[in-house]
Amino acid sequence: MADTAHNQQSQLGTRHLLGIKDLTRDDIELIFHTAASFKHVLNRPIKKVPSLKDITVANLFFENSTRTRISFELAEKRLSADVVNFSASSSSLKKGETLLDTVNNILSMKVDMVVMRHPAPGAPHFLARHIDAHIINAGDGTHEHPTQALLDAFSMREKLGDLAGKHVAIIGDILHSRVALSNILCLQKLGARVRVCGPPTLIPKHIGSLGVEVSYDLRDTLRWCDVANVLRIQLERQDIQYFPSLREYSQYFGINRQILDALDKPILIMHPGPINRGVEITSDVADSEHSIILEQVENGLAVRMAILYLLAGRREA
């Protein structure tokens, strides 16, 4: 029968996007399939569709963000949703209001979806238990950052095809990184092999229990991998000194042109931003033909549109 040849899943299995942990492989495939169509829309002269014109989204950013906040806001606007923005610095939070009170107040204004970034791990999960709107986690402390992992995997797939059996290295500050955990979970669901690499002080002790390889040798890791996802050194999250100096870090774990040229095959270089140029990667690597950093940003918009669209269109059983 040609007319129903593919039995494609038509909706997500979850009503919130709290973490990659809650997604199935089919959910991820559905998000990628939908994101590909949104990428087409983003390359049209008119980059807007009317799908979410009856939806209001609140972007609650309790922690600083430029790229993710703009990406979400643009994604919402391109779907014709109404958008309200809130950032911690200008809020009543400083006057002592609790998270739940803040959010309930916003929801009384009839908001359908909440995109939230919060410094406390689990904050969006807490919210999901107490309120009715769809919640999208835009980063909760050092826990998860699911949309970043999805856009990273989507970008890898665009370049490499099926990720099954591909080698992906996550390099740098794994300990403080929500991007690392979400990436590991997402890549494993897609069948890739994952290795983390960085100074021992910045690699969580029991990370091997997630089924990832651990290496402290940058050159060996780069020889092993097809993709190097380089993370930022998060100085703002480090309350103690994890390494002697930035200069020493960049000598052991910084990627420069020389190291890449010495490899026998080209590898993809990714970075979730913002880049500390000259620390984790040098400028000539960040701007080289190996780097897909700006494509990640473009894909981020398409992937976020797909997630908003799919969650808003979900039917409750």
Partner 1 sequence: MTDSTAHGRIIMDERRLSLTLERLCHQLVEKHGEFENTCLIALQPRGVMLGERLYRRLEHITGGLHPPYGKLDFSLYRDDYRTRARPIPVQPTVLDFLVGPQSIDGRKVILIDDVLYTGRTVAAALRTLYDYGRPARVELLVLIDRRFNRELPIHCDYVGMRVDALDEAYVRVVWATAPESGRVLLYPDRKAAENDLHQQQQQND
Interface residues with partner 1 (CB under 8 A) are: 1-4, 8-11, 30, 33-34, 36-37, 40-41, 44-46, 48-51, 54, 309, 312-315
Minimal distance in Å, beta carbon 132 to partner 1? 16
Total residues found in the chain within this entry: 317
Question: Is the Cβ of residue 69 or residue 134 nearer to partner 1 in the bound state?
Answer: 134
Nearer to partner 1, 53 or 219 (CB): 53
Which of 67, 77, 125, 223 is the catalytic position? 67
Nearer to partner 1, 31 or 58 (CB): 31
Report how far residue 257's alpha carbon sits from residue 261's, in angstroms, rounded to the nearest whole number.
6
Tell me whether residue 267 or residue 311 sits nearer to partner 1 (CB atom): 311
Reference 194, options 210, 173, 176; nearest CA is 210
Minimum CB separation of residue 74 from partner 1 in Å reads 16
From the list 68, 142, 221, 282, the catalytic residue is: 68
Catalytic option among 44, 95, 206, 315: 95
CB 138 within 8 A of CB 18: no
C-beta atoms surrounding 178 within 10 Å: 23
Minimum distance of partner 1 from residue 35's CB (angstroms): 9
The CB-of-111 to partner 1 minimum distance in angstroms stands at 16
Q: Residue 82 or residue 213: which is nearer to partner 1 going by CB?
A: 82
Known catalytic residue at 68: yes
SS in 3 state form for the chain?
A: CCCCCCCCCCCCCCCCECCHHHCCHHHHHHHHHHHHHHHHHHCCCCCCCCCCCCCEEEEEECCCCCHHHHHHHHHHHHCCCEEEEEEHHHCHHHHCCCHHHHHHHHHCCCCCEEEEEECCCCHHHHHHHHCCCEEEEEEECCCCCHHHHHHHHHHHHHHHCCCCCCEEEEECCCCCCHHHHHHHHHHHHCCCEEEEECCHHHCCCCHHHHCCEEECCHHHHHHHCCEEEECCCCHHHCCCCCCCCHHHHHHHHCECHHHHHCCCCCCEEECCCCCCECCCECHHHHCCCCECHHHHHHHHHHHHHHHHHHHHCCCCC
- Smaller CB distance to partner 1: residue 79 or 285? 79
Catalytic pick from 39, 78, 118, 145? 145
**In Å, what is the CA distance from 94 to each residue of 12, 62, 114, 126, 283?**
36, 11, 20, 20, 39
Question: Which listed residue (39, 69, 117, 118) is catalytic?
Answer: 117
By beta-carbon proximity to partner 1, the closer residue of 31 and 103 is 31
25 in catalytic set: no
Active site residue 67: yes
- Catalytic residue IDs: 67-68, 95, 117, 145
